[in-house]
């Protein structure tokens, strides 16, 4: 069988890589062509375009790069036609993927979606197009299945692939990790400022403003795979701040607390049982537009899955040194941490256990054969 996969951003690359591995297990003759990143390339198949080439953040940046986006969409359509796959698999990334899905369905290609666009967060009207253009939808969050049921669209909840990604990772001892990365014996506060330059600029300077207040802790920046160290270097002003690239899971496995930019990283941090403060600050224009179209009570996946506030969210003007200090002190408190750990274990139960990538690969393969 021939599979064409389109993923964007670091999280899509991670989930896409695990899906590719499972597709190659279930279909030994699989030919895979994809848009993604380094992890997907290492898993197998042929890389067409790296997600770095279309990492546009916020409404204003998308508008400024609209011509480039249209050219990429046009190229993607041509490449799909030339490859002539048995199925086109979309992973999240709705702004790019939904226009391709509409075209692919009209052209007669089988269309599968793994990890739903966030129509449950904003512009639910897009559900009509998804029902029309997507043959099968595989969702990784339980509340998303309930959302689609309201629109009479049956989707399959497969569990969350992060559980597998974390369980199956190659592990390193804390002693070896600290030694290899020149870390002290101090408890670690991990900083996860995001993956795109625009968000890192907004998030990291505020996160690092706390360093001098916590001399008994060591702050460690988790570098995104899409950015070079030289970009981060200008933010680092203290010897008590370290930088580690492409080892976020190893870092979280030994961290005492974390300051995390809203996104998939909030869920990863929770699954490693690390107390966290969720942070988000966008451009003024993007924030006010988002406020008008997003209908959710929360922005972090942890709170959304649990349908209550488990972790504190500091959004826009609330994301400042004073509030961040207050919340960091809270998650360093022993009594508060005990309750949070119980919530984290309940979160993992709700997410459905292991096997999401394997289930999805089998369902995609069976769908083609049937």
Q: What's the pLDDT tens digit per position in 220-243?
A: 999 988 788 999 999 998 999 999
Average the pLDDT over 23-42 and give the result.
96
Average the pLDDT over 266-277 and give the result.
97
Question: Are 218 and 187 contacting, i.e. CB atoms less than 8 angstroms apart?
Answer: yes
The residue count of the chain comes to 370
Q: Where is 259: in which H helix or E strand?
A: strand 257-261
pTM metric for this prediction:
0.82
Output the six-digit token pair for 222: 């988790």
Residue 301's CB is within 10 A of a number of other CB atoms, namely 24
End-to-end CA distance of the chain: 13
In CATH terms, are 2-159+355-369 and 172-350 the same topology?
Answer: yes
Dist CA 166 CA 76 (whole Å): 32
Domain 2-159+355-369 sits in which CATH superfamily? Glycogen Phosphorylase B; (3.40.50.2000)
In this structure, whether the domain defined by 172-350 belongs to CATH 3.40.50.2000 is answered with yes
Q: Given this model, what pLDDT does residue 61 score?
A: 54
The residues, ordered by sequence, that sit 6+ positions from 104 with a Cβ below 8 Å of its Cβ are 77, 80, 88, 111, 133
Q: Is the torsion defined by CA of 143, 144, 147, 148 positive or negative?
A: negative
Helix then strand then coil, in percent of the chain rounded to 5, is 50, 15, 30
Q: Given this model, what pLDDT does residue 65 score?
A: 61
Average the pLDDT over 290-311 and give the result.
82
Q: What's the pLDDT tens digit per position in 102-128?
A: 999 999 999 999 999 988 877 888 999
SS3 280: strand
Percentage of the residues of the chain whose pLDDT score is greater than 90? 74
* Cα separation values, 147 from 94, 118, 356, Å: 17, 11, 19
Output the six-digit token pair for 314: 């500091």
Residue 33 β-bridge partners: 4, 46
User: In terms of Cα–Cα distance, which of 370, 304, 308 is closest to 139?
Assistant: 304
Dist CA 367 CA 26 (whole Å): 13
CB half-sphere exposure, 346, CA atoms < 13 A:
13
Q: Given this model, what pLDDT does residue 289 score?
A: 53
Segments making up each domain of the chain, as ranges? 2-159+355-369, 172-350
Question: Are 364 and 23 contacting, i.e. CB atoms less than 8 angstroms apart?
Answer: yes
Q: What's the pLDDT tens digit per position in 172-218?
A: 999 999 999 999 999 999 999 998 888 899 899 999 999 999 999 99
Q: Rounded to 10 degrees, what is the CA torsion of 359, 360, 361, 364?
A: 120
Average the pLDDT over 97-106 and give the result.
97
SS3 339: helix
Average the pLDDT over 55-82 and give the result.
76
Question: Are 191 and 222 contacting, i.e. CB atoms less than 8 angstroms apart?
Answer: yes
SS3 252: helix
Pick the residue with more confidence: 3 or 60? Answer: 3
């Amino acid at each position: 069988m021939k599979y064409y996969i389109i993923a964007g951003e670091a999280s899509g690359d991670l989930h896409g890589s695990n899906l590719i591995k499972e597709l190659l297990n279930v279909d030994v003759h699989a030919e895979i062509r994809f848009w993604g990143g380094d992890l997907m390339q290492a898993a197998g198949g042929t890389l067409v375009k790296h997600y770095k080439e279309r990492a546009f953040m916020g409404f204003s940046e998308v508008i400024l790069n609209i011509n480039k986006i249209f050219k990429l969409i046009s190229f993607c359509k041509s490449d799909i036609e030339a490859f002539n796959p048995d199925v086109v698999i979309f992973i999240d990334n709705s702004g790019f993927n939904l226009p391709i899905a509409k075209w692919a369905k009209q052209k007669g290609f089988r269309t599968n979606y793994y990890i739903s666009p966030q129509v449950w967060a904003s512009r639910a009207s897009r559900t009509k197009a998804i029902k029309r253009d997507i043959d099968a939808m595989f969702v990784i969050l339980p509340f998303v299945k309930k959302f689609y049921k309201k629109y009479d669209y049956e989707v399959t909840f497969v569990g969350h692939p992060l559980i597998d990604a974390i369980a199956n990772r190659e592990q390193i001892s804390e002693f070896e990790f600290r030694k290899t990365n020149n870390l002290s014996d101090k408890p670690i506060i991990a900083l996860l400022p995001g993956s795109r330059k625009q968000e890192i600029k907004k998030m990291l300077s505020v996160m690092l403003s706390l360093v001098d207040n916590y001399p008994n802790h060591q702050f460690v920046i988790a570098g995104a795979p899409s950015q070079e160290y030289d970009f981060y270097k200008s933010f680092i002003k203290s010897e008590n701040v370290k930088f580690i690239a492409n080892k976020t899971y190893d870092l979280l496995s030994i961290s005492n607390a974390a300051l995390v930019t809203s996104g998939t990283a909030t869920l990863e941090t929770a699954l490693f049982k690390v107390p966290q403060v969720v942070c988000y600050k966008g451009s003024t224009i993007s924030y006010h537009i988002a406020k008008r179209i997003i209908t959710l009570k929360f922005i972090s996946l942890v709170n959304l899955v649990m349908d209550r506030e488990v972790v504190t969210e500091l959004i826009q003007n609330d994301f400042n040194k004073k509030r961040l200090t207050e919340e960091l002190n809270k998650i360093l408190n022993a009594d508060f941490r005990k309750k949070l750990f119980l919530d984290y274990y309940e979160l993992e139960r709700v997410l459905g256990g292991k096997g999401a990538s394997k289930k999805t690969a089998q369902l995609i393969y069976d769908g083609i054969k049937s």
